[in-house]
Structure 1
Amino acid sequence: MFVVTLTFADKSRAGELMEGHKAWIQRGFEQGYFLMVGSLQPNRGGGIIAHGASLEKLEGFVAEDPFVAEGVVTAEILEITPARFDDRLEFLAA
């Protein structure tokens, strides 16, 4: 399980790259990598909860985000080894 943070570095090109970024997010869901995406507050960037990919595969996928590739955001991937779950999250144990 991973937490990915995308922290703004240079917002000046965010508008022109937004459609590509949204398409990348959609691919993340379609490929089964993303469980949740959302904004980091206050207006710091975005956060993603990911599962179902190796660290190497996720690193490669994150590098494909137009925001990352063009320096709009910097990405950090934190790997979590779950030790205890609420029953609603048991699927993460697989």
Structure 2
Amino acid sequence: MFLIMLRFSDNKSAAAEYMQAHNAWIAKGFEEGVFLLTGSIEPKQGGAVLAYNIARAELEKHVTEDPFVAHNVVTAEITEITPGRTDPRLDFLNE
């Protein structure tokens, strides 16, 4: 499992220009079964993605395809998490 932190860069003002393409990138991640959750980092610092069922190298490539990353609207940091203990509703993470 991976946590992707997408923090706004100095080019934050360009976000509106790439928002539609960024949202399409998010939708693709959900359609592919890779993204489990997306949301904002408050207060207005960027966004976060919880990804699963993908190899790190493939995820890194996928992240570079985010228009926000490609156009330096955000910088991406990927953190790998190995689940140890989970709520029973998340048992699929331990498979």
Matches within 5 A, 1:51-70: 51-70=52-71
The corresponding residue for 1:44 is 45
> What is the rounded CA distance, in whole Å, between the counterparts of 1:11 and 1:81 in structure 2?
32
- Structure 1 alignment gaps of length 5 or more: none
**Aligned amino acid, residue 48 of structure 1:** V
**Identity across matched positions, percent:** 53
Matched, 1:23 2:24: yes
The corresponding residue for 1:86 is 87
> What is the rounded CA distance, in whole Å, between the counterparts of 1:49 and 1:69 in structure 2?
19
The corresponding residue for 2:6 is 6
SS of alignment partner, residue 67 of structure 1: helix
> What is the rounded CA distance, in whole Å, between the counterparts of 1:14 and 1:86 in structure 2?
36
Q: For this pair of structures, how many residues does the alignment match?
A: 94
In the superposition, the TM-score normalised over structure 1's length comes to: 0.98
- CA RMSD, aligned part only? 0.6
**Aligned amino acid, residue 69 of structure 2:** V
> What is the rounded CA distance, in whole Å, between the counterparts of 2:67 and 2:18 in structure 1?
6
**C-alpha offsets along residues 46-75 of structure 1, whole Å, 9 cap, x if unaligned?**
001110101011100000000000000000
SS of alignment partner, residue 5 of structure 1: strand
In the superposition, the TM-score normalised over structure 2's length comes to: 0.97
> What is the rounded CA distance, in whole Å, between the counterparts of 2:39 and 2:13 in structure 1?
20
Superposition deviation, residue 85 in structure 1: 1.2
